Chain A
Amino acid sequence: MKKKEKNYNLILGASIALFMFLFLMIGVFYTPYDPDAMSGSAKFAPPSLSHIFGCDHFGRDIFSRVLKGTGTTFFVASATVILGGGIGIIVGAFTGYFGGWIDEVLMRFNDAVVSFPNILLALVFISILGPGKYNVILALAIVFIPSFARITRSEFLSQKEMDYVKSARLMGVSHLRIMFVHIFPNILPSVLSMAAIGFNNAVLAEAGMSYLGIGVQPPDASLGRMLSETQTYLMNAPWCAIFPGLAVIGLALGFSLLSDGLLKKGGK
């Protein structure tokens, strides 16, 4: 027997993710200042006791904006993972379990989607749908479907050959019930880790798209948008960019470690 090692990735990732989550939950209920309120006198105010993260070029309190922005980014990323992941898992489950022509058609379509770079494809969808928070979610979800579908498919491909599936068939269990009641719990570790990676990518993609100005629209605070707005002042007022940047890093790192930890826990 191997000695049970502590899963530091899981512990650390979960704590960072939890910390970020608590952080944004504070933002939902309370911000020290109105995140959109401008103040001429506080323009580029450096971090101090009254504005602990300082103020930006409009004199808005960065701490309040980071609180709100983290919330926005988190919402977009979660919605993307739920939507894209949900559809991807269903597609993957059907193609992997049944195979045949459904598999061929859906997977070739998948390959077509995958052959474009993610961000580029999301940009195309945004240019069709128009910018905005919900369109970003939709665009990213579409872009994320293939990766979820692929991993789920491969898991189903290997699971459907297992004896327990055969014995479930013998008991007269229907295909749908086998897929989602018998097989799905077995692939849950991979699904969770996949969701964590997906979340991670969605955070970065949302930040990237908002940075390019096609994501979340002003005056909504979003981490990417804050970075892009303040990059001009990076040398004079670095706090404007450092704190939103740290929040992005926190989200991305937390969920990336979490996904590694989950994979390890699943024994893969």
Chain B
Amino acid sequence: MLLEVKNLNIEFYDTDPPEKAVKGISFSMEQGEILGIVGESGSGKTQTALSILQLLKSNSGISSGEILFKGKNLAGLSGRELQKIRGKEISMIFQEPMTSLNPVLTVGRQVEEGLKLHGEGFSKEQRKAKALDALGEAGLPDPEGIYGKYPHQLSGGMRQRVMIAAALVTEPELLIADEPTTALDVTVQAQILELLKEINAKHGTSILFISHDLAVIRKLCGRVLVMNQGVVVEEGEVSRVFDHPQKDYTKKLLAAIPDRRRSLRKRRRSQ
């Protein structure tokens, strides 16, 4: 078992009494698995992801529960111990490739940052070689050229690839992807999904993929959690959940996907 979340509760302290964002969810992930979490905005999926790395904002926190990563409870670690896990064993990529990169540092420097922090004893040349490898593996053409560029010189899709390269350069065991394709257009989305699949197959990197997009989840994940209002509504193999949903909420969610044929029929009928 790579990751095990047990009875996790997350609260926002802004209000009195505190508002519960995540209410006692539990799930687990095997090594090499791609697990999807799907849900609408405010369902608590991002909070869950952030809590794994203990990166909740100061106005929220874990009120109870355990997050076991390879048997270690992440919720009980000190800042320094967490720093060793972040970026080394667990990496994360986000929704906003446009702003997640530091605008004034070159792409190469940012990809190397993880190695500088965690890759003990790499020389400058080794770091550069590794960064170039990672950029190439992330599907960026001409890694040498991109290495010296600044984020504003790249397109959104390329930036997301840079983020992926930076996340994977340290060869983490778990990659948390929080809506990494939402801000991208559909063709680039498909390419990024392909890339994540490849990485998963090649390195056995486990991926926790968070999205509100059912189609994306279906394409990528093996297993899926459906979340609503802070609880797990349904859990299971993607094909089972999508083809034979058991719960009303899942059915409604699936019905909400716009279907081209159905809407055409509707329009004809109304004419």
A residues lining the B interface (CB < 8 Å): 162-164, 166-174, 182, 185-186, 188
Binds A, one of B82-90, B217-225, B229-237: B82-90
For B91, give its contact among A171, A182, A188 (CB under 8 Å): A171
Binds A, one of B6-14, B111-119, B138-146, B193-201: B111-119
Q: A170-B91, A172-B118, A182-B105 known; A164 and B99 CB under 8 Å?
A: yes
- 9 cross-chain pairs, A with B, having the tightest CB-CB distances, nearest first: A171-B87, A172-B86, A172-B87, A172-B83, A163-B99, A164-B102, A163-B100, A185-B104, A170-B92
A170 touches B102 (CB 8 A): no
Main secondary structure of the interface of A (DSSP, over half): helix
Known: A170-B87, A172-B83, A172-B88. 17 other contacts (CB 8 A): A163-B100, A164-B99, A164-B101, A164-B102, A166-B55, A166-B94, A167-B93, A167-B94, A170-B86, A170-B92, A171-B113, A171-B166, A172-B82, A173-B83, A173-B113, A174-B83, A185-B102
Q: A166-B55, A182-B105, A185-B105 known; A171 and B100 CB under 8 Å?
A: no
B residues lining the A interface (CB < 8 Å): 53, 55, 82-88, 91-94, 96, 99-105, 113-114, 117-118, 163, 166-167
17 A–B contact pairs at CB < 8 A?
A163-B94, A166-B94, A167-B93, A167-B166, A168-B102, A168-B113, A169-B86, A170-B55, A170-B86, A170-B87, A171-B167, A172-B82, A172-B118, A173-B83, A185-B105, A186-B102, A188-B104
With a CB–CB cut-off of 8 A, which chain A residues contact B117? Answer: 171-173
With a CB–CB cut-off of 8 A, which chain B residues contact A164? Answer: 99-103
Q: A172-B118, A174-B83 known; A186 and B92 CB under 8 Å?
A: no
With a CB–CB cut-off of 8 A, which chain B residues contact A170? Answer: 53, 55, 86-87, 91-92
With a CB–CB cut-off of 8 A, which chain B residues contact A168? Answer: 102, 113
With a CB–CB cut-off of 8 A, which chain A residues contact B167? Answer: 171
A169 touches B55 (CB 8 A): yes
